Amino acid sequence: MVRFDGEKLHALLKDFYLVTGIKACVFDADRQEIAFYPERCCAFCGLIRESEAGGRACLESDARAFEVCAERGGVYVYRCHLGLTECVFPLKHGGNIIGYVMIGQAGTEDLTFAEVAPAVRRCGVDPVRAEACFRSVNRLPGEKLTAVAHLLEALAGSLYLSKLYEVESTHLQQRIDRFLTEHLTEDLSVGRLCGEFGVSRAELYQWFERFFHGTVAHEVKRRRLEEACRLLTSSRLPVSEIAARCALYDYNYFSKLFKKAIGMSPSAYRRAGRTSGL
């Protein structure tokens, strides 16, 4: 679970607007708006969204943009249903999309009201009022908005962005703990775990060191031996089957590993009826 720092995001978007004059919004992974600047839409977009049809068309336009952006995994520059130019790009953590940034509500330098008038009428908005508001639309060369989006995307991939959100460690630790418990007999290699949690090897190593104070291999081995201890004292299963249930299919390897960690063989441990000291 990711928690964004709303105050820091707002400050960043404000600075961005003061430098570029471009409105920006940040959305979470569920595409819910969590930060934006300026506080209001431009006058033209605000007028369109006042109508039911216009508001619905804007939401549908945004939804399509999010879908395309998620599929591409990078910057998507497009024209909204009104003909204004907008950009959206994903925020990522460990290969997973944790949010989106959308910028725009801008017109190209040669965009005329005659081009957007049909969309205005479809939204049921008074063309006279709309044309007056249209004059205040920010005009930018198309390549400028794209360039700004790429710069923002580069910033999003930098260490700076990590100061604007945090992965809630308690929730993450619970997810890892539950996965290891439920899949103890399966492949729990670093590659498998990286794919499951969508992180790099370096990040996975950091998580295990932070949560379990050891390496991935050490934690997996510890849990499997702990399960072996439990089965040895609570069941009459053959030692070879217990080894297999703990994904340690080589009986000789299992016995050596068990004796090294526990101090006695699996059979001796069963006879002693001791509980795990791992």
- Tell whether 82 and 160 lie within a shared domain: yes
- pLDDT tens-place string over residues 185-223: 898 999 899 888 877 788 788 889 888 889 999 999 999
- Tell whether 219 and 128 lie within a shared domain: no
- Alpha carbons 22 and 33: distance in angstroms, whole number: 17
102 or 93: whose pLDDT is higher?
102
Boundary (domain end) residue, out of 114, 132, 167:
167
In this prediction, residue 140 carries a pLDDT of 77
Find the radius of gyration of the CA atoms of the chain: 28
- Tell whether 147 and 212 lie within a shared domain: no
Boundary (domain end) residue, out of 115, 136, 167:
167
- Strand-pairing partners, residue 97, are 92
- Tell whether 73 and 210 lie within a shared domain: no
In this prediction, residue 241 carries a pLDDT of 92
Query: Is residue 35 assigned to a domain?
Result: yes
User: Whose structure tokens read 């959305």?
Assistant: 27
- Nearby residues of 256 by Cβ (< 8 Å), 6 or more positions away: none
- Tell whether 180 and 230 lie within a shared domain: yes
Confidence grade of residue 92 (pLDDT, cut at 50, 70, 90): confident
Distances (CA, A) of 275 to 73, 96, 209, 221: 50, 41, 26, 17
Q: Would you say the C-alpha torsion 94, 97, 101, 107 has a positive or negative sign? A: positive
Type of residue numbered 247? A
- Tell whether 221 and 87 lie within a shared domain: no
In the predicted model, is pLDDT for residue 2 greater than 70?
A: no
Mean pLDDT (whole number) for 76-105: 84
Q: Would you say the C-alpha torsion 33, 35, 40, 43 has a positive or negative sign? A: negative
Q: What is the CATH number of the domain that holds 20?
A: 3.30.450
- Tell whether 190 and 105 lie within a shared domain: no
- HSE on the CB side for 277, CA within 13 Å? 10
Query: Is residue 28 assigned to a domain?
Result: yes
In the predicted model, is pLDDT for residue 118 greater than 90?
A: yes
In this prediction, residue 17 carries a pLDDT of 86
Domain count, the chain: 2
- Tell whether 55 and 175 lie within a shared domain: no
- Tell whether 108 and 135 lie within a shared domain: yes
Query: Is residue 8 assigned to a domain?
Result: yes
Q: What is the CATH number of the domain that holds 186?
A: 1.10.10.60
In the predicted model, is pLDDT for residue 1 greater than 60?
A: no
Boundary (domain end) residue, out of 138, 167, 196:
167
- pLDDT tens-place string over residues 12-54: 888 888 888 888 898 988 888 888 898 778 889 999 999 999 9
In the predicted model, is pLDDT for residue 275 greater than 70?
A: no
- Tell whether 91 and 182 lie within a shared domain: no
Q: Among 82, 86, 79, which residue's Cα sits nearest to residue 121? A: 82
- pLDDT tens-place string over residues 50-64: 999 999 999 999 999
Type of residue numbered 52? E
Q: Contact 185/62 with Cβ under 8 angstroms?
A: no
- Tell whether 151 and 222 lie within a shared domain: no
In this prediction, residue 167 carries a pLDDT of 52
Query: Is residue 253 assigned to a domain?
Result: yes
150 or 245: whose pLDDT is higher?
245
- The 10 Å Cβ neighbour count of residue 34 is 16
- Tell whether 16 and 153 lie within a shared domain: yes
Query: Is residue 277 assigned to a domain?
Result: no
Domain hosting residue 233, numbered range: 169-272
Q: Contact 164/4 with Cβ under 8 angstroms?
A: yes
Query: Is residue 278 assigned to a domain?
Result: no
- Alpha carbons 166 and 153: distance in angstroms, whole number: 18
Structural element, H or E, at residue 16: helix 6-20
- Alpha carbons 65 and 156: distance in angstroms, whole number: 19
Confidence grade of residue 164 (pLDDT, cut at 50, 70, 90): low
